[in-house]
Structure 1
Amino acid sequence: MSRVRSTDAVLLLVAAVWGSSYLAAKTATSALPVPLVLFARYGISAIACLALVTARRTSRRFTRDELRVGAVLGVTQAAVLVLETYGVAHTSAANAGLIISLTVVLTPLLDRTSGGTGLPPRYFAATGLCLLAVALLMSGSGFHRPGAGDLLMFAAALVRAAHVALVGRLTARRSVRPLHLTTVQTLVGAALFAVPVTGTLGRLGRVDGAGWAQLLYLALFCSVFAFLAQTWAVQRGSASRASLLLGTEPVWAVAVGIGLGGEHLTVLTALGAALMVAGTYWGQAVERDHRTAGTARAPDRSATVAATGV
Structure 2
Amino acid sequence: MSRVRSTDAVLLLVAAVWGSSYLAAKSATSALPVLVVLFARYGVSAVACAALVLSRRRTRRFTGDELRAGTVLGLTQAAVLVLETYGVAHTSAGNAGLLISLTIVLTPLLDRRSGTAGLPPRYFAATGVCLLAVALLVSGSGFHQPRSGDLLILAAALVRAAHVALVGRLTARRPVRPLHVTTVQTAVGTVLFAVPAAGSLSALGGLGASGWAQLLHLALFCSVFAFLAQTWAVQRSSASRASLLLGTEPVWAVAVGIGIGGEHLGVATALGAALMVAGTYWGQAVERAHRAAGAEETPRPAVPANA
User: What is the TM-score normalised by the length of structure 1?
Assistant: 0.95
Matched-pair identity in %: 82
Equivalent residue, structure 1, for 2:55:
55
Deviation track 1:200-259 (CA, whole Å, cap 9, x = no partner) reads 111111111110000000000000000000000000111110000000000000000000
Answering whether residue 226 of structure 2 is matched by residue 226 of structure 1, we say yes
Once the 2 structures are TM-superposed, how far is the Cα of residue 116 of structure 1 from its aligned partner? 3.9
- Preserved CA contact (<8 Å) 1:109 1:115: no
Aligned counterparts of 1:83 and 1:40: Cα–Cα separation in 2: 16
Q: Deviations over 1:141-173 (max 9, x none)?
A: 000100000000000000000111111111112
Sort the Cα spacing of 1:60 and 1:199 in 2 relative to 1 into closer, same or farther, 3 A: same
- 2:145 equivalent in structure 1: 145
Spell out, residue by residue over 1:175-220, the C-alpha distance to the aligned partner (whole angstroms, 9 max, x if none): 1100000000000000000000111111111111110000000000
| Partners of 2:71 and 2:255 in 1: CA distance | 35
Counterpart-to-counterpart distance in 1, 2:141 and 2:188 = 41
- Residue aligning to 1:268: 268
Q: Distance in 2 between matches of 1:9 and 1:258?
A: 23
Q: Is the 8 A contact 1:98 1:253 kept in 2?
A: yes
State the 1:297 CA deviation: 9.9
Alpha-carbon distance in 2 for matches of 1:266, 1:120: 34
User: Which ranges of 4 or more aligned residues in structure 1 deviate by more than 6 Å?
Assistant: none
Deviation at 1:108, TM superposition (A): 0.2
Q: 2:21 matched to which residue of 1?
A: 21
- 297 and 79 in structure 1: CA distance in 2 versus 1, 3 angstrom threshold: farther
Q: Which structure 2 residues correspond to residues 132-171 of structure 1 after superposition, within 5 A?
A: 132-171=132-171
Q: Which amino acid aligns with 2:21?
A: S
CA contact (8 A) 2:115 2:294 kept: no
Deviations 1:21-78 (A, max 9, x none): 0000000000000000000000000000000000113111000000011000000000
Partner letter of residue 69 of structure 1?
Answer: A
* Paired residue total: 298
Determine if the alignment matches structure 1 residue 41 to structure 2 residue 35: no
Show the counterpart of 2:207.
207
> In structure 2, what is the equivalent of residue 85 of structure 1?
85
Shift of 1:174: 1.1
Aligned to 2:7: 7
Q: Is the 8 A contact 1:108 1:114 kept in 2?
A: no
**Quick check: 2:108–2:116 contact (8 Å CA) kept in 1?**
no
1:115: Cα distance to partner?
4.3
Whether the aligned pair in 2 keeps the contact of 1:104 and 1:280 (CA below 8 Å) is: yes
Taking the aligned partners of 1:247 and 1:186, their CA distance within structure 2 comes to: 24
Distance apart, 1:296 and its partner CA:
5.4
Distance 2:266 2:257 in 1: 14
- Partner residue of 1:292? 292
Rounded to whole Å, the distance in 2 between the matches of 1:152 and 1:275 is 21
Distance in 1 of aligned mates of 2:268 and 2:187: 41
Equivalent position amino acid for 1:17 in 2:
V
Whether the 8 Å CA contact 1:137–1:268 is kept in 2: the answer is yes
| C-alpha distance in 2 between matches for 1:94 and 1:73 | 27
Counterpart of 2:305?
none
Aligned letter for 2:245? L
Q: In angstroms, what is the RMSD of aligned CA positions?
A: 1.2
